Amino acid sequence: MHRPELSIVVPCYNEEGCLEALHARVSAAAKAAVGGDYEIVLVNDGSRDGTWPLMQRLASADPRLVAINLSRNHGHQLALTAGLDLCAGEQILIIDADLQDPPELLVEMRGLMAAERADVVYAVRRKREGESVFKKLTAAAFYRVLDRVTDTPIPIDTGDFRLMSRRALDAFLSLPEQARFIRGMVAWVGFRQVPFAYDRAERHAGATNYPLAKMMRLAFDAVTGFSTAPLRFASHASVLLAAASLLLLVYIAWGFFEGDPVPGWTSTMLVVVVLSAIQMFVLGMIGEYLGRLYVESKRRPLYLVADIAGPVRGHATLGYNAEDVEHDIEDTSAKAAE
């Protein structure tokens, strides 16, 4: 199998407004970096607009473009996993479809990778333009909370925009989990990883596909995937509560022997309400982990591919069922060319 020097992997959900500009700018950046020896892997994550037909059109006109159509919307992290499974390059650039991360930085990122002899160059956001104050605040809070609770140090203000070496990618692909927080998993892999500061631009077209609910889910995947601190919270809380109840006991005994028992409806209610809240929180946290254990135990494939347009050089492992994707997939490049 021929390994191109560079693969550029792009997950796309409802990005018909961005694809043409993306293709043009990514192609130019790749040519500037490696000449002709590259491939662009676009993954359609069950878009509801014209993203897939447009991808097929682009693939039929550009032999360096591979378009992958997932069977439905699997979510950003799984769509990206599919692209990473199917790419074949010696170096791999992960980039969003909306051009918020400028592909032109590729040359500099490669330079840094060579100079530092690094396996991963991850792009750290210095500025974020055209995003709401709410999104910026929640994102900033998220990265800082995550940094406090996780056992693996995960770089702050870093998305999935990064350049990876083949050995780092292969190591990453050997991690089988369903609840994927890719930037954390890449950090876990290790090797030499260096930051690269950049300013995040505005979306080229369309609107964000990460509403609050999806961000919360990613946040929970991040925390539960990289930390058991929330599970330990119950034992920490119990120590504090035991100390508090000892004090309360002394207070009650004192009132009893003085012949002046506390009337205490307010304090009783307070204790009931506070303790119920803590118990619910602890139960909820156990539920979060239990739910993920349940999902992992089913061992379902991470994603399913429906069609591929263009020449696939890599092969999908389809999660840990490790089947060769070529058996299952109809090559639609001929159809697209018609």
100 versus 224: smaller Cβ distance to Mg ion: 100
Pairing mode of beta strands 120-128, 158-165: antiparallel
Which of the listed partners (Mg ion, ligand UDP, none) does 317 bind, with a CB threshold of 5 to 8 Å by partner kind?
none
12 binding ligand UDP? (CB under 6 A): yes
The CA distance from 251 to 122, in Å, is: 57
Alpha carbons within 13 angstroms on the beta-carbon side of residue 225 total 25
Which of the listed partners (Mg ion, ligand UDP, none) does 11 bind, with a CB threshold of 5 to 8 Å by partner kind?
ligand UDP
Q: Exactly one of 7, 69, 209, 332 binds ligand UDP (CB under 6 A); which one?
A: 209
Q: Exactly one of 15, 39, 45, 98 binds Mg ion (CB under 5 A); which one?
A: 98
Q: CA 208 → CA 56, 211, 227, distances in Å?
A: 23, 7, 28
The CA distance from 53 to 40, in Å, is: 17
Which of the listed partners (Mg ion, ligand UDP, none) does 75 bind, with a CB threshold of 5 to 8 Å by partner kind?
ligand UDP
Pairing mode of beta strands 65-70, 305-309: antiparallel
218 versus 325: smaller Cβ distance to ligand UDP: 218
Residues in the chain: 338
How many residues touch ligand UDP under the rule CB under 6 A: the total is: 16
What DSSP string describes 81-135? Answer: HHHHHH---SEEEE--TTSSS-GGGHHHHHHHHHHHT-SEEEEEEEEE-S--HHH
Which phi and psi (to 5°) does residue 86 adopt?
Answer: -90, -5
Residue type, 97: A
97 versus 302: smaller Cβ distance to ligand UDP: 97
Q: Exactly one of 100, 165, 317, 332 binds Mg ion (CB under 5 A); which one?
A: 100
Residue with tokens 């021929």: 2
- Binding track, positions 58-77, relative to ligand UDP; x by CB under 6 A: ---------------x-xx-
85 versus 160: smaller Cβ distance to Mg ion: 160
The CA distance from 56 to 34, in Å, is: 24
Which range touches ligand UDP (CB under 6 A), out of 118-126, 185-193, 202-210, 270-278?
A: 202-210
Which of the listed partners (Mg ion, ligand UDP, none) does 97 bind, with a CB threshold of 5 to 8 Å by partner kind?
ligand UDP
101 binding ligand UDP? (CB under 6 A): no
210 binding ligand UDP? (CB under 6 A): yes
Which range touches ligand UDP (CB under 6 A), out of 9-17, 84-92, 224-232, 316-324?
A: 9-17
The CA distance from 140 to 167, in Å, is: 31
Burial of 144 (0-12, 13-18, 19+ CB in 10 A): exposed
Residue 7 beta carbon to ligand UDP: minimum distance, rounded to whole angstroms: 16
Decide: helix, strand or coil at residue 284: helix
Which phi and psi (to 5°) does residue 333 adopt?
Answer: -65, -35
45 binding Mg ion? (CB under 5 A): no
Tokens standing for residue 325 = 């994707």
The CB density around residue 112, as the number of other CB atoms within 10 Å, is 16
60 versus 100: smaller Cβ distance to ligand UDP: 100
With DSSP H G I counted as helix, E B as strand and the rest as coil, what are the percentages for the chain, rounded to 5?
Answer: 50, 15, 30
45 binding ligand UDP? (CB under 6 A): yes
Which of the listed partners (Mg ion, ligand UDP, none) does 27 bind, with a CB threshold of 5 to 8 Å by partner kind?
none
Which of the listed partners (Mg ion, ligand UDP, none) does 44 bind, with a CB threshold of 5 to 8 Å by partner kind?
none
Residues that bind ligand UDP (CB under 6 A): 11-13, 15, 45, 73, 75-76, 79, 96-98, 100, 208-210
- Please give the residue ranges that form the binding site for Mg ion (CB under 5 A): 96, 98, 100
